Amino acid sequence: MKKRSGKKLENLVKLIQEALKDLPQTKIFQNYKIDNKGGRSSAFGTKLLTVNSF
């Protein structure tokens, strides 16, 4: 089975980051880690947190 590289997803995340980075209600965390239910750490490449008032 061919392994997918995830480059399309990485490019999409990069575009979203560029679009939202200058908004004051947006926070971008790189190499973000959380603890899962088993107590082990899981890593995310990017976490975007934004608040919209729509």
pLDDT for residue 53: 65
Domain ranges of the chain: 7-50
At 6-53, the pLDDT tens digits run: 888 888 888 988 988 888 888 888 888 888 888 888 877 888 888 876
Please state, in angstroms and rounded to a whole number, the distance separating the CA atoms of residues 12 and 47. Answer: 13
Q: Tell me, what DSSP letter sits at residue 53?
A: -
Please state, in angstroms and rounded to a whole number, the distance separating the CA atoms of residues 47 and 33. Answer: 9
At 41-51, the pLDDT tens digits run: 887 788 888 88
Please state, in angstroms and rounded to a whole number, the distance separating the CA atoms of residues 8 and 54. Answer: 29
pLDDT for residue 37: 83
pLDDT for residue 1: 61
Please state, in angstroms and rounded to a whole number, the distance separating the CA atoms of residues 10 and 44. Answer: 12
Please state, in angstroms and rounded to a whole number, the distance separating the CA atoms of residues 35 and 54. Answer: 32
